[in-house]
Structure 1
């Protein structure tokens, strides 16, 4: 599967006093994009919690801020799955303005049970995420 794409516009509320996107707001942008990518892969997080008692949690996050976005910029967040194991998935998420890479992030997600303890990714989730891995 190619990268999932999620488009958004930068609003005034996303910016700081200097008129650039406040660094923490990129985390919101990539979270929204991750949710849309999972939905596109057939993973409904509400159903996952209701039916299997599992929720996603971010275990690790690495972000490289390369260039700022500004008010009214149109951005595209590209999400790809880099790796899937029994217990976690690593996603690569990039925020682009046209052909300029602004932010690159690596996100490791895991599943937690209702008790808050780690658990293996449910098989349907592993299969769906595995289907998002880039081909040979």
Structure 2
């Protein structure tokens, strides 16, 4: 995993027992991916306005290993693998210190605003690989 972002768990993220509600991990992963895309110099707003393309999540695989709790400081690790013409996978982990709380693989597709798959532009592909590498590249 090549990119990390950190944030704190707020009360609103938890259930009545102070444990992070399972669906909120998807929000945490989204924040990590958004931060990674931004750090790669990619403006999703510009992609949409200039090129008429967007990234959409098409698959989520998540293994919930340990609970996060109110006031924990979490680190989201985000990587890149399986980059193809119009899609890629972003492996992610949620950690509290050195403890892995969740491990996920997020399948992302590049789509037109009309909902058709489109090849990832070369500059965006380059920026992703420059920041995140490609864990499946030989």
TM over 0.5: yes
The TM-score normalised by the length of structure 1 is 0.94
Counterpart for residue 104 of structure 1: 103
Runs (4+) of structure 1 moved beyond 2 Å?
A: none
Counterpart for residue 120 of structure 2: 121
Aligned residues: 135
Counterpart for residue 41 of structure 1: 40
Structure 1 residue ranges without an equivalent (≥5): none
Say which structure is richer in strand.
1
**How far is 1:130 from its partner?**
2.3
**How far is 1:83 from its partner?**
2.4
The TM-score normalised by the length of structure 2 is 0.92
Q: Find the residue that maps to 2:16 and give its secondary structure.
A: coil
* 2-structure distance, mates of 1:25, 1:129: 25
Q: Find the residue that maps to 1:105 and give its secondary structure.
A: strand
CA RMSD of superposed structures (Å) = 1.4
1:26-78 deviation digits (Å, cap 9, x = unpaired):
00001011011011111110011111100000011100000000000000000
* 2-structure distance, mates of 1:84, 1:127: 11
